[in-house]
A and B are shown apart, each in its own frame.
Chain A
Amino acid sequence: AQSVTQLDSQVPVFEEAPVELRCNYSSSVSVYLFWYVQYPNQGLQLLLKYLSGSTLVKGINGFEAEFNKSQTSFHLRKPSVHISDTAEYFCAVSEGNQGGKLIFGQGTELSVKP
C-alpha cells in the first residue's frame, strides 16, 4: 500500500531564507506526485505536480520540487521565502490507476518570521 511521510511537522524560517520541505513516499508502482498548500482558513490549492517528463517541476509562487525515484522522495524547495508563504503544505501521491485517489502526508507547517 502506498503511503506518504512528511518528515517535518513544523518548519520555522526567517524571511528571505531558503527552505526545503521533505516528502518521502512508498509505492510499488509508478506514481504521480503533488504538493498542495493551505493558507489559514482556506481549502487546499495545488502548488505543483509531477505526472511525467522532467523530474524537476516548477510550481506557483516560486516553489519547485524534484522527483527522485531511487530515493522515493519529492522534496519541495524555495530559494527565498516571504511572510506570505506561511501556510501548511501537503505532499500527496496517486498511483494513477485508482481514479485519481490521493494519499496525503501529515502536513508541514511553514512559519516565516520577519
Chain B
Amino acid sequence: DVKVTQSSRYLVKRTGEKVFLECVQDMDHENMFWYRQDPGLGLRLIYFSYDVKMKEKGDIPEGYSVSREKKERFSLILESASTNQTSMYLCASSGQGLWGKNIQYFGAGTRLSVL
C-alpha cells in the first residue's frame, strides 16, 4: 500500500513564526501536492511538484513556499504564519501514466492553529 506520512497531526504556532510541514511518500511517486482544507471550501491546491527541485504554484500559493530536495519528501513552508493560515493541510502524491498520475494518495493531514 502507498503510504503518505505527514510529520505532525496537530501543530500550534504563533503569528509570525516560520512553520515547516513535512510530507514523505514511500512509493517513488513523481508528483506531490499540498492542499489546504477549509469547511465549505473543499480542498484548494497550494503548490505541487512534478520532480525533484521542481515546483508549480497552485490556486492559492500566497504566503507559502515549498521545497523538494529529495523525491520522497515535499515540504510546505509558511514564512511568517498568520491567523488566516489556520487550517487543515493535506499532502498527496501520485505516479506516472494515465492511471498513475490521476490517482492521488493522501496523508492523514496536519491541523495547524496559528495564534
Contact = CB atoms under 8 A, between A and B. Distances in A.
Given A94-B102, A99-B50, A106 B109 contact: no
Contacts of B98: 51, 96
Given A43-B106, A106-B42, A100 B94 contact: yes
Interface in A4-20: 4, 6, 9
Contacts, number: 62
B90 interface: yes
Interface residues of B, number: 27
A104 B41 CA distance: 9
A45 B90 CA distance: 12
B42 A101 contact: no
A63 interface: no
Interface of B: 4, 31, 33, 35, 40-45, 48, 50, 58, 90, 92, 94, 98-99, 101-109
Interface of A: 4, 6, 9, 32, 34, 36, 41-46, 49, 51, 90, 94, 96, 99-102, 104-107
